[in-house]
Amino acid sequence: MSKKMKMNPQQQQAVDYMDGPCLVLAGAGSGKTGVITQKIARLINECGYEPKHILAVTFTNKAAKEMNERVAKIMGDKSTKGLTISTFHSFGVRFLRDEAKHLNLKEKFSILDQDDCFSILQELCATTDKALIKAMQSTISLWKNSQITPEQALKDAKDNDELQFARVYANYNATIAAYQAVDFDDLIRLPVELLQTNEEVRNRWQAKLRYILVDEYQDTNTVQYLLLKLLTGVRAMFTAVGDDDQAIYAWRGATVDNLKLLQTDFPRLKLVKLEQNYRSTVSILNAANALIGHNPKLFDKKLWSDLGQGEAIKVLPMANEEEEAENVIMRLQAHKIANNSQFSDYAILYRGNHQARLFEQFLRKERIPYVMSGGQSFFERAEIRDIMAYFRLLNNINDDPAFIRAVTTPKRGIGSATLEHLGQYAGRRGVPLFEAVFETGFASISTPRQLEPLLEFAEFINQFEQRASTEEANEVLDDLIKAIGYEVYLFDQFDERQAQSKWKNVVDFMAWIKRRAEEDDKKLSAVIQSMVLISMLDKGTEDANTVRLSTLHASKGLEYPHVFLVGIEEGLLPHMSRDEALEDPTRIEEERRLMYVGITRARLSLHVTWCQKRRRGRDFENRELSRFIKEMKHESETARENLKEVPQITPKQRIEMLKAMLAKQAGQQDLPFKQTEEI
């Protein structure tokens, strides 16, 4: 039996509208996920849509998982078999698998990660300049997401640098095509190109997907918007849910113009505004509304809440970043004790990752558990990437980057000279490295010392590729890891503590894969193909009782009872380089939206800190209060007027603060913290 959530009139309107394209302008904390999941249930239960004809797309695996769980809960015992709720890129993988023949791709194509692409570009450019290669990666990604072809990039080049990048772009595309591989951006670009050029494929997918829902629509880029248009066709049966006030990803190709385009491309567009916030107190929302009111508006919207006034927002001036970090951690401890909270109730949010170092230092000093968002993913660890290379090769023996990593880790007597020799032969023949190993032509020009270890490795992979398709995943995995000799390799290469840590990660990884295989009742070969994509999309760790350290960008979509926004100064937020003389209004607007996202992560309390001085090299430089703090206050400009030089915390004060924490817990007195301002 399906379950309906209690909805306000605007939410109900968004769920009920079925007459054409619909844009749900969903403010922060306004219950957008509930609207999407309830609408999916209504499509199936009341509107006659089969689950297989519905597609819901979002941007993270976590969001997709949450949406799937909610739909399952709403639908109860009723089947949702065939329903697709996924990330854009996961959908792209599904599409490319189904249509591989139309794109001259093998069914078992490879998905290249950032490091693979970096290596290819490095080889093409014959340079070790990492900054240059990263700039090329970023530019090529933006070109692909804007549907700019290598030919167009060459034509539009304004100088020698752009001309060089465009030439590399063309060679890069040709190289990965030869590898029977795609990169992350191709997962959307290639489906769009095929849908644009092949009417039969386009008609088939439009018939297959009769209703589409898009979450976080303001984060879409050019090709993602085109994908939506091409899949919906003239029927235009879709619901896009987004918020122009939370558009913070312009730097990676997202464009808020997609919200404007909806009105232009779909004149019948129904607009529904969700303005009631179910997350934050009135004081927090007043500050958020005041701040974002300084941006030009695509759509008028003002969040409101019936959750009460709540705690006043505290604006806390600090002497410098060391004092800021220590004071924030002390305040966090005090607040936790006074409110009987958990560490997981707290988040410390900042503009740039470099700001985290001092907070980490003081958290460790106080033995407070914490986790970082936007830090190194589990899948980015070297030992996991080593094992992934074997999986990728089992999935696609033509995956040259995976071949190179696997054949050299652990060492098998195959050196760089042998690989270069193999690569030159494969290049001349136009075949993958793996295939070249078995060719008589290569055998005829190779010494036994070169050939034998390569043949042994290739036969080893062939053996396990066959087993992965026919035998139980658990047994194959155990035998594979044992045959690789990876544990011995780790203890040979690293000291005991490092080796143990790395080996534990590998063991945990194996256990995770086994669970996935058992839960989905799949052979190892069926699990492996999705692994690379998962490794690129899944970041961070599961929630635990830990303080969350996060960039503002990584905090989007999340919420916490108590938030500390730190380093809110001119130059940091809004971010600008030291020698920037002129301000770009669009950049300032995006930075303001980033501050807005930070404020609206908070449910119950918000502390904002800034430093009067900040270290630059060996010296300190004076800092100014961010304009955004003043804009939050809106009706008052006292933030600057009442500030005095903030002294450092002394050891004696520290003891007094600790005493005060306990006293506050007993309700005896307020905390003797430094002068603050309340909004």
CB-based contact 370:363 (threshold 8 Å): yes
CB-based contact 253:146 (threshold 8 Å): yes
Instruction: Identify the residue whose tokens are 């652990």.
Output: 410
Query: Residues 116, 186, 215, 589: which is the catalytic one?
Result: 215
Our measurement of the distance from residue 504's CA atom to the centroid of its chain's CA atoms, rounded to an integer in Å, reads 25
Q: Report CA-CA distances (Å) from 486 to 259, 389, 441, 456, 616.
A: 50, 13, 32, 17, 44
Number of helices and strands in the chain (H, E): 31, 17
Instruction: Identify the residue whose tokens are 């990876």.
Output: 486
Query: Residues 336, 593, 601, 633: which is the catalytic one?
Result: 601
Tell me the DSSP string of 572-600.
BTTB--TT--S--HHHHHHHHHHHHHHHT
- Under DSSP, the state recorded for 494 is S
Instruction: Identify the residue whose tokens are 């009769």.
Output: 210
CA proximity to 153, closest of 541, 161, 162? 162
Query: Residues 216, 324, 345, 589: which is the catalytic one?
Result: 216
Query: Residues 38, 84, 87, 246: which is the catalytic one?
Result: 246
The contacts of residue 612 (CB under 8 Å, 6+ apart) are 317, 318, 319, 320, 622, 623, 643, 645, 646
Told to judge if 32 belongs to the known catalytic residues of this protein, a careful annotator would answer yes
Structure tokens at 581: 């003389």
In sign, the C-alpha dihedral spanning 83, 87, 90, 94 is positive
3-class secondary structure, 480: helix
Query: How many CA atoms does the CB half-sphere of 149 hold within 13 Å?
Result: 7
Structure tokens at 25: 């302008």
Told to judge if 215 belongs to the known catalytic residues of this protein, a careful annotator would answer yes
Structure tokens at 336: 């936790």
CB-based contact 607:563 (threshold 8 Å): yes
**Can you tell me the distance from the alpha carbon of 369 to that of 345, in angstroms, rounded to the nearest whole number?**
12
Alpha-helical (H) ranges within 126-278 are 130-145, 150-156, 160-178, 186-197, 199-208, 222-232, 257-265
Told to judge if 392 belongs to the known catalytic residues of this protein, a careful annotator would answer no
Query: Residues 33, 60, 114, 263: which is the catalytic one?
Result: 33
**Can you tell me the distance from the alpha carbon of 303 to that of 294, in angstroms, rounded to the nearest whole number?**
15
CA proximity to 222, closest of 118, 113, 112, 141? 141
CB-based contact 309:283 (threshold 8 Å): yes
Told to judge if 676 belongs to the known catalytic residues of this protein, a careful annotator would answer no
The contacts of residue 94 (CB under 8 Å, 6+ apart) are 84, 86
Told to judge if 216 belongs to the known catalytic residues of this protein, a careful annotator would answer yes
**Can you tell me the distance from the alpha carbon of 354 to that of 572, in angstroms, rounded to the nearest whole number?**
11
Query: Residues 10, 11, 32, 185: which is the catalytic one?
Result: 32
Told to judge if 189 belongs to the known catalytic residues of this protein, a careful annotator would answer no
The residues that are catalytic are: 32-33, 215-216, 246, 601
